[in-house]
Amino acid sequence: MKMRTYNIPKILFFVLFSIFWLLSAVAEANIVVRATVVNPSPTERRTVPFKSYLPKEIKPENIVEMGDLNIAYDTKESVYYLYKDYDLAPRESVLVEIELEDVWKIPQDELASIRSEVDKVVKLLQDTDYADRANYLRESIMTKLDEIEHKQEVVNPNPGGYISDYRDNLKLLDQVKADLQAAKTLMTEAKQIYPILTWKLIIAVVAFLGVLGVVFFIIWSKQIKTISNLTEDYKSERENFQPPLAEERPEHRQPEEDKKPEITDIEQRVKDNP
């Protein structure tokens, strides 16, 4: 019997293709993809091609087990895919299993690190003019992180929903990182303001001391000039000063009658009049 090979579009209605996802504890929470490839012909042996596109987040290193499947990259779709041609007897089916790492979960360590980092940034900004803005950003970040953690704790049983939740979480994580970067920018601006304020304060103090020195110099100059003027006036007064002439006092003579006879006069009178 001649074997026939079919292109995928021509045999889609012949192939029963079922995929489901399992979170297996034994496989350490890896994702197991299972597909059933069937030869629908009741009488003919056929070569049934299998081709499965992997989610865009999956890279070759994320494939834990893929059996004897081949892997290739679709440049048009920008994703990897697994493929193989199966030679199947009439009504024969093959179960294909692919084990993948669960890359659809943001590591808890990364979320905890972001929480710790934003707390440090907000603490450094508490005594600045940016404190209110920093607290607002912190609340926004914490709310988004709580939402991410909640979605990851409540696992969506639907594979499409599980991946969709992860992609939504990535968008939230991007917003968180943008808010964190905004908070860091505030911290950078605050650090730049402090040196400016310090230099302004130094310049203000120097200017004040300069003005104060000028005032003291003016006052000192005026005092020196005043003292100099007083000294010159004093010298001039001393040079032009003439002491007053002594007053001539009249000679005071006692009348002769008032004069008391001296001893020699008495003796003479005694001799003249014995």
The pLDDT of residue 217 is: 75
Strand, coil or helix: what is 17? coil
**CA quadruple 216, 221, 222, 223: dihedral positive or negative?**
positive
The pLDDT of residue 247 is: 55
Domain definitions of the chain by residue range: 8-100, 108-204
The pLDDT of residue 209 is: 75
Residue 31: DSSP 8-state = E
Positions of the chain with pLDDT under 50: 1-28, 193, 196-197, 199
The pLDDT of residue 90 is: 94
Strand ranges for 168-252 from DSSP E = none
The pLDDT of residue 80 is: 96
Cα distance between residue 36 and residue 94, in whole Å: 6
The pLDDT of residue 242 is: 59
The pLDDT of residue 234 is: 63
The pLDDT of residue 86 is: 95
**Packing angle, helices 131-153 and 159-239, rounded to 10:** 170
The pLDDT of residue 225 is: 74
Q: Model confidence over 159-194: pLDDT tens digits?
A: 788 889 999 999 999 999 999 999 999 888 876 545
The pLDDT of residue 8 is: 40
Q: Model confidence over 227-267: pLDDT tens digits?
A: 777 676 666 666 665 555 555 555 555 555 555 555 555 56
pTM of the complete model: 0.56
